Amino acid sequence: MLGTMYKVLCLCLVLFSVFSSSLAYFITVDADAEECFFDKVEAGTKMGLTFEISEGGFLDIDVRILGPDGKVIYQGERETSGKYTFAAHTAGVYTYCFSNKMSTMTPKVVMFNMAVGEPHKAEGADGETANKLEEMIRELSASLTGVKQEQEYMQVRDRIHRSINESTNSRVVMWSFFEALILVCMTLGQIYYLKRFFEVRRVV
């Protein structure tokens, strides 16, 4: 009975940690600026960075991931979204950087999530690895995190597409108004020209 309650408690704690730690972050990277974030992990820890540009310019940004030794693990230029996972090759502080230095005027709004897995555990003295329940909990935790991230990115994409549609609609309305104004001006000009053409001039 106590064993069952312990397992249920562990499952609840894992689920709570998933929903509390899988929240996406929104940051604004100013023009000609760079924002960096850090994670300190043990060697062998699985890590991941998922990001999406939600506002600003052409929805692009430069991304870098650096190891504790300063080595570039991943680097991308002018990316709109991406997902990169890797295992920490050594213990220390890993750095994620979003750079908007290619832009001189437009800030960018970035939604991102840094996922840090469990550190790699060596086998115990008795040669046993983690039990089956812990493995299932980890798999469930990873699946729930992935589903939540996908929902957040779908919300961002929906907002981006809505903004594009509204912008396009406003431009169509403005162009239609401009065309109507041109037609009215041309009509008045033609009326004035025809009126002058048929006007009878009196000789004094």
Question: Per-residue pLDDT for the chain (204 aa), expressed as one digit of tens each?
Answer: 444 544 544 545 444 444 444 457 888 999 999 999 998 988 888 888 888 888 888 888 999 999 999 899 999 999 988 888 888 888 999 999 999 998 888 899 888 888 887 665 555 544 455 577 777 777 777 677 777 767 777 777 787 778 778 888 888 999 999 999 999 999 998 888 888 877 765 555
> Distance between CA atoms of 33 and 80, rounded to whole angstroms?
17
pLDDT value at residue 30: 92
Q: What is the pTM of this model?
A: 0.60
Identify the CA nearest to 24 among candidates 134, 112, 125, 136: 112
pLDDT value at residue 191: 87
Q: Alpha carbon of 111 to those of 60, 100, 179: distances in Å? A: 12, 14, 40
pLDDT value at residue 119: 65
Domains and CATH numbers, the chain: 2-119+132-159 (2.60.120.680)
> Distance between CA atoms of 197 and 182, rounded to whole angstroms?
22
> Distance between CA atoms of 109 and 99, rounded to whole angstroms?
12
| Contact call for residues 69 and 119 (beta carbons, < 8 A) | no
pLDDT value at residue 203: 52
Judged by phi (left if over 0) then psi (alpha if -120 to 50, else beta), residue 167 lies in: alpha
Neighbour count for residue 13 (Cβ, 10 Å): 11
Contacts of 73 (CB under 8 A, 6+ apart): 65, 66, 67, 86, 94
* Tokens describing residue 9: 């408690």
